[in-house]
């Protein structure tokens, strides 16, 4: 249930967002909420508050509790309103100026903003803005939105926001804070999640429901695709200012990104994963299996589902060391080869002589799968079968998930049989796309107009990839490299 680690060959979720309106100690609640959303971004985090007079902000590299567990920091973030953000950086060393929430001093007052998702026409918009004299302080696509709000000819703040968002394409769940209000908005396709909660007289917006539970807040509902929520002293209002588009929620949230204790669209993520595991067992049984072993920790719910459906015992055949925080120094090749043991160890006695079914949620490059299979074989397993609770990952995501190029995705170029050869497994099978849709409650995938965004499996991108098509990569952002310690 934890997020990406390069050593485990998982994709990275882009971000988590959080907002609090009218609850005492809003920064502390936001810190707790971001902590619960830590799996959605571990490289940087930030909180902005408004205390009725001034805005306050703290942005930092590293995990939430590195910074926001310090009394000295929290004292500097007063107020009953706040927004917060977790992120990872898409390339190179993360730099502080890209960390959100962004803040701007606009003509009508201050604005803080945090974004989960990715815009697909940001480069083009940026190019135009820079030509007309706009100064960008970051390289993030999110700043484009702030400039568009700043330059909007509309008078009212909400109208400015709508004006700005009508110009952008891509996936976004945003939270915004001004001197008067908190706002939340999801893009018309609803690719990224955003939910609404309530605590006493206050409101909370969050990427996932687990971030409500941590503070004892009540889950109210999901924000709808294309919905704009405004919360101020007059209460909460909802509007749908954009042209209606078909819903395309990211199906990978069910498979891997979201925490198993979260709800999305009224469904328990844990139960969805067990159901996916059960469907996987029905589609891809293993004859003579002795044990169902999850690849920890994300594979556990699907493995439980697989085990219950197949009647084969669920066992912890691989033990994870929970203390891995950073990459170890590995000064010689001899030690470097020990790599994978840093995170996992096999449960030798259990595996020796057995027909083992490993359950994992995805294979990206396959590097870790290969090590895991090797470790299980070294422990004496007779057969090792890999079962994957997602369809083959064949295409890059441009809507907020950091993915290698298509060509680096193992399944882009190889069949399951070839992959089995590569990772030295006796067999490798994936759940089918239709099986996945069945498991999450659809009769079948509607092939003309799929109910979810499944572009990473199908290659069918629901939102136009403008920057990519227009080859905006020819346009260079002047590279400023910030020296770090």
Under rule CB under 8 A, residue 57 binds its own copies: yes
Tokens 């590195």 map to which residue?
Answer: 66
Angle (CA) 392-393-398 rounded to 5° is 150
Q: Strand 355-360's sheet: what is its strand order?
A: 291-294, 355-360, 383-388, 427-430
61 binds its own copies (CB under 8 A): no
Q: How far is the CB of 163 from its own copies (least distance, A)?
A: 12
**DSSP strand E in 343-463: where?**
344-346, 355-360, 383-388, 401-402, 427-430, 452-453
CB of 286 to its own copies, least distance (A): 19
Which one of residues 201, 243, 244, 334 is an interface residue with its own copies (CB under 8 A)?
A: 334
- β-strand pairing of 102-106 with 81-87: unpaired
What is the smallest separation between the CB atom of 148 and its own copies, expressed in angstroms? 9
Q: Examine residue 198 and tell whether it contacts its own copies (CB under 8 A).
A: no
d(CA 27, CA 168): 30
Q: Please, are residues 60 and 46 in contact by the beta-carbon 8 Å criterion?
A: yes
Name the one range near its own copies by CB under 8 A: 10-18, 225-233, 245-253, 348-356.
348-356
Looking at beta carbons only, is 244 or 485 nearer to its own copies? Answer: 485
**Smallest gap, in angstroms, from Cβ of residue 219 to its own copies?**
9
Minimum distance from residue 409 beta carbon to its own copies (Å): 26
Among positions 347, 403, 442, 458, the unique one binding its own copies when judged by CB under 8 A: 347
Helix axes 142-151, 122-131, angle to 10 degrees: 50
Locate the DSSP E strands across 62-96. 81-87
Q: Which of residues 274-333 bind its own copies (CB under 8 A)?
A: 297, 300-301, 304, 308, 313-316, 319, 321-332
Among 52, 91, 92, 107, binds its own copies (CB under 8 A): 107
| Least gap, CB of 178 to its own copies (angstroms) | 9
Binding segment for its own copies (CB under 8 A), chosen from 12-20, 60-68, 406-414, 419-427, is 60-68
Shortest distance, CB of residue 116 to its own copies, whole angstroms? 18
Other CB atoms within 10 Å distance of the CB of residue 19: 31
* Catalytic hit among 15, 397, 453, 456: 15
The tokens describing 15, both together, are: 């971000």
From the list 115-123, 438-446, 465-473, 476-484, the region that binds its own copies by CB under 8 A is 476-484
Contact call for residues 293 and 359 (beta carbons, < 8 A): yes
| Residue 234 near its own copies by CB under 8 A | no
For the question of residue 15 being annotated catalytic, the response is yes
Sign for the pseudo-dihedral over CA of 111, 112, 116, 120: positive
Give me the 418-457 binding string for its own copies, x by CB under 8 A, dash otherwise.
Answer: ----------------------------------------
Q: Which of 2, 22, 90, 427 binds its own copies (CB under 8 A)?
A: 2
Of 248-267, binders to its own copies (CB under 8 A) are 259-261, 263
The whole-angstrom separation of Cα 77 and Cα 101 is: 14
Between 191 and 304, whose beta carbon lies closer to its own copies? 304
- Residue from 61, 134, 236, 465 in contact with its own copies (CB under 8 A): 134
In the complex, the smallest distance separating the C-beta of residue 420 from its own copies, rounded to whole angstroms, is 25
For 210, the enclosing helix (H) or strand (E) is helix 210-213
Q: Per CB under 8 A, which of residues 37..56 are in contact with its own copies?
A: 38-39, 42, 53-56
Q: How far apart, in whole angstroms, are the C-alpha atoms of residue 26 and residue 48?
A: 10
For 8, 126, 360, 373, 410, the CA distances from 366, given in Å and listed in that order, are 9, 36, 11, 11, 6
How many angstroms separate the CA atoms of 66 and 134, rounded?
Answer: 34
Question: What is the radius of gyration, based on Cα positions, of the chain?
Answer: 23
Site for its own copies (CB under 8 A): how many residues? 110
Cβ atoms 85, 98 nearer than 8 A:
no
Residue 146 in the binding site for its own copies (CB under 8 A):
yes
Cα–Cα distance measured from residue 336 to residue 384, given in angstroms and rounded to the nearest whole number: 25
Q: Which of residues 150-179 bind its own copies (CB under 8 A)?
A: 150-152, 179
Annotated catalytic sites, by residue? 15
């Amino acid at each position: 249930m934890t997020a990406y680690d390069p050593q485990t060959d998982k994709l990275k979720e882009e971000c988590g967002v959080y907002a609090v309106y009218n609850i005492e100690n809003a920064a502390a609640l936001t810190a707790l909420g971001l902590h619960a959303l830590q799996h959605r971004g571990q490289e940087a985090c930030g909180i902005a508050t408004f205390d009725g007079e001034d805005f306050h902000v703290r942005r930092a590299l590293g995990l939430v509790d590195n910074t926001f567990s310090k009394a000295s920091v929290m004292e500097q973030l007063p107020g009953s309103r706040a927004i917060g953000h977790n992120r990872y950086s898409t390339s190179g060393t993360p730099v502080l100026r890209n960390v959100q929430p962004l803040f701007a001093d606009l003509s009508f007052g201050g604005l803080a903003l945090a974004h989960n998702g990715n815009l697909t026409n940001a480069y083009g918009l940026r190019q135009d803005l820079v030509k007309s004299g706009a100064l960008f302080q970051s390289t993030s696509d999110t700043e484009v939105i702030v400039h568009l709000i700043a330059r909007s000819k509309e008078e009212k703040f909400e109208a400015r926001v709508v004006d700005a968002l009508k110009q952008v394409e891509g996936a976004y769940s945003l939270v915004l804070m001004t001197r008067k209000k908190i706002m939340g908005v999801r893009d018309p396709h609803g690719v990224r999640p955003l939910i609404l909660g309530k605590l006493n007289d206050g409101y909370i917006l969050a990427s996932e429901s687990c971030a409500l539970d941590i503070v004892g807040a009540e889950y109210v509902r999901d924000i709808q695709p294309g919905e704009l929520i405004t919360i101020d002293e007059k209460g909460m209002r909802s509007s749908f200012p954009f042209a209606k588009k078909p819903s395309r929620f990211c199906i990978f949230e069910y498979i891997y990104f979201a925490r198993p204790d979260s709800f999305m669209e009224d469904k328990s993520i844990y139960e969805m994963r067990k159901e996916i595991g059960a469907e996987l067992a029905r589609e891809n049984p293993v004859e003579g299996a002795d044990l169902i072993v999850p690849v920890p920790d994300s594979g556990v719910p699907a493995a439980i589902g697989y085990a219950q459906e197949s009647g084969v015992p669920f066992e912890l055949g691989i033990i994870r060391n929970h203390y891995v925080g950073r990459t170890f120094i590995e000064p010689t090749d001899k030690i470097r080869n020990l790599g994978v043991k840093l995170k996992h160890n096999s449960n030798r006695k259990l595996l020796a002589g057995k027909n083992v079914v490993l359950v994992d949620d995805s294979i990206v490059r396959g590097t870790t799968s290969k090590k895991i299979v090797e470790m299980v074989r070294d422990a004496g397993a007779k057969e090792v079968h890999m079962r994957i609770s997602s369809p083959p990952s064949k295409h890059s995501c441009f809507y907020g998930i950091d993915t290698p190029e298509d060509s680096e995705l193992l399944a882009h170029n190889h069949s399951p049989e070839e992959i089995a050869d590569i990772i030295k497994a006796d067999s490798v099978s994936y759940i089918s796309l239709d099986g996945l849709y069945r498991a999450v409650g659809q009769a079948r995938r509607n092939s003309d107009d799929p109910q979810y965004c499944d572009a990473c499996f199908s290659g069918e991108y629901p939102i136009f990839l403008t920057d990519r098509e227009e080859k905006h990569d020819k346009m260079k952002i002047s590279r400023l490299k910030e020296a770090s310690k």
